Structure 1
């Protein structure tokens, strides 16, 4: 369509119809050299990672949002946000990110329904400030692997009281898939608590799934983050514990819901791992637990902000057995952000993961790219 015709059509719309609509987004992407299990490229005959050059998207997005004043301090709110990709592998569908409709009121917060982020995905992740693709280890993607969006959900967010706030999210299970002849209910409940004041912050999230013992995957998940972000100083500490069911067999570890750190690395030498852990049963789903810590520090001087992150996954713990030796990991990430302007950054990082699993190779990633916000 002719650009002049488009401009005339927009000008003809009533001002009130356009005044409450905001268009926003971020374009983020770069070059990565990855040697990782999660990369789509370059595996040898045994499934071990080989180095590969990739042009990857770093979670770009485009969104539309708005509100309408209903009077008496009440507003109708809405948002449609979609993932886009600068590398040509565009996600299908519209509204693939947080998309909702809801109400907000003076003094009581807001309530929304739709496709909504859990608390760690939207309100935490201070330990992971970098930019990277999901298939690299240029950020703490394993520590934040469960941060996601929940379909068919309702979320309430409280107002802020002297730095304190909280949220509650309920994700319904519409399928109620029968298991062993009984109708299951794998609904999700997520509670988040926050305190922020004078640069200091502390955040806690608890998530639980019903009937996880029937359908596998995550049973419950705790995440704690705390730190300081002011006066050019950035420090964040995180701890999380995840419990659920894990398949243990001669082929490795089978994970239905993200309990274990990295499924691809879990196909390590099982014979050797079993020999190091005598008495560890295999062949069925078993109750298991993972624990991790993460620490990130950064300092801004001028336009430069370097970051150093460390994450550690402790040995997997299996009920009726205990800690499974050589099932943890150590990760380091060094990142540098250079602000070209208030809206455009250059970002580079190097990440390294050392696996304790026998036969699992170390993973590495280098990234260099651009971020623009609008």
Structure 2
């Protein structure tokens, strides 16, 4: 190839290189060893229904993303992002040995941002609690572990077919509003079309290390069964001068045990409540009892506290969560709550790499349920 051809080839590549100049590749690789004896563990339960202990190599929510923007002038930018979940343990999260992770499994969107009015995005988007809260849960762990506050943060998620507006910051105050469309509008058991659209509001104040945040989400159709209807969460605390303190309180209302603290334990409690219904109502079948429970309103309440302090490269954390006894149609379900403790230690090897270890324990108030325990030790790297 002569010099003229080389020059032409370079010239041809330059527009493509310029077009890619604003693309940022980023992510986190997180994972480690865990020993889990939990109701969510893939090891399952023994013949008496008690969780079994298992040694596991688990992914701790690794991800890779691509994002960019274009300056449109007058303080206006076009923004976009495609973020993807990856499992470094070679599974898809179900421990079946196969991986089906695809693009846009995490926050992925296109939108506009302005210097004075905030930003608006559409796509697959986090609710406010998922990306702007979780101060009470700073740790790393798998879905099978109780080494973090996964039960407390169980509704922190993403919404498909969503549009979200985030305000600018006004002297520490900001807010966000998300709408998720129900595009299928499927028919319920009576043949009527449902409308399970989602509304989510988030409010925030931050100043000099102090913060206060509020999340409200509503799932529109009140006729939904065995599902969540509405949810409130408040978080407040302080994060500065090496001290980390975060308090959280939330209340969730739904139908049946679809919004219970733990879905597997929820099934056990559902069966116990159904048995009680059948004992008190001779002739009532199991199916009728379950239908009655699924139509009954369940309310759960939880409080969480996390405290941490940084000594050089070390940051130890302690968390406590109290799950109060749930109520079904206003009647308290005795011994349906839980207490959880988590001890954790984060050691910063560098600004981007950490060693993290934790031990967590959950004690259910119902004496027929076993105590759950988890230990984890692993690495986190950001790029």
Is the 1:22–1:64 contact (alpha carbons within 8 Å) kept by the matching residues of 2?
A: yes
Following superposition, the deviation at residue 328 of structure 1 comes to 0.2
Match of 2:174 in 1: 165
Alignment of 1:82-231 (within 5 A): 82-89=84-91, 90-179=99-188, 180-231=190-241
The aligned residue for residue 12 of structure 1 is 13
Tell me how far apart the structure 1 counterparts of residues 53 and 18 of structure 2 sit (CA, whole Å): 54
Contact 1:268 1:360 in 2 (8 A): no
Q: C-alpha offsets along residues 198-224 of structure 1, whole Å, 9 cap, x if unaligned?
A: 000000011001113234411110000
For residue 42 of structure 1, report the CA deviation from its aligned partner.
4.4
Q: CA deviation at 1:348?
A: 0.1
Aligned pairs, how many? Answer: 355
- Choose from 314, 326, 332 the match for 1:316: 326
> Post-superposition shift, 1:273?
9.7
Residues 353, 273 of structure 1: alpha-carbon distance in 2 compared, 3 angstrom cutoff: farther
SS at match of 2:224: helix
Structure 2 residues not aligned, in runs of 5+: 1-8, 92-98
8 Å contact from structure 2 (residues 224, 255) kept in 1: no
The question of 1:260 aligning with 2:260 is answered: yes
1:61 to 60, 63, 78: 63
Residue 235 and residue 366 in structure 1: after superposition, are their counterparts in 2 closer, same or farther (change >3 A)?
A: same
Aligned mates of 2:176, 2:89 — CA distance in 1: 35
Q: 1:139 to 1:178 in 2, by over 3 A?
A: same
Work out the CA distance in 2 between the residues paired with 1:272 and 1:22.
52
Q: Which moved more, 1:287-296 or 1:177-186?
A: 177-186
Cα distance change of structure 1 residues 271 and 126 upon mapping to structure 2, 3 Å threshold: closer
1:195 CA displacement: 0.2
User: Is the Cα–Cα contact under 8 Å of residues 212 and 244 in structure 1 kept in the other structure?
Assistant: no
Of 310, 335, 345 in structure 2, the residue corresponding to residue 336 of structure 1 is 345
Instruction: Give 1:152 deviation, angstroms.
Output: 0.4
Mark the CA change 1:142 to 1:313 in structure 2 (over 3 Å): closer, same or farther.
same
CA drift at 1:16: 2.2
Corresponding position of 1:3? none
Q: Distance in 1 between matches of 2:198 and 2:54?
A: 38
Cα distance, 1:372 vs structure 2:
0.2
Structure 1, unpaired ranges of 5+: 1-7, 247-253
Structure 2 vs 1, CA of residues 241 and 352 (structure 1 numbering), >3 Å: closer, same or farther?
same
Could you give the per-residue CA deviations for residues 29-68 of structure 1, whole angstroms, max 9, x where no partner exists?
0000000010112421344211000000000000000000
> Structure 1 residues 272 and 223 mapped into 2: Cα distance closer, same or farther (>3 Å)?
closer
SS in 1 for 2:80: strand
Q: CA RMSD in A?
A: 2.2
State yes or no: 1:327 paired with 2:329.
no
- 1:304 pairs, out of 310, 314, 329, with 314
Give the Cα–Cα distance (whole angstroms) in 1 for the partners of residues 27 and 341 of structure 2: 29
**TM-score of the pair, normalised by structure 2:** 0.88
CA contact 1:119–1:205 (8 Å) conserved in 2:
yes
Show the counterpart of 2:38. Answer: 36
Give the corresponding residue for 1:238: 248
Cα deviation for residue 272 of structure 1 reads 9.1
Query: Are the equivalent residues in 2 in contact too, given 1:57–1:86 (CA < 8 A)?
Result: yes
Q: Distance in 2 between matches of 1:172 and 1:362?
A: 40
Q: State whether residues 98 and 116 of structure 1, in contact with CA within 8 Å, keep that contact through their aligned partners in structure 2.
A: yes
- Higher-Rg member (1/2): 2
Query: What SS is found at the alignment partner of 1:130?
Result: coil
Change (3 A) 1:198 1:279: farther
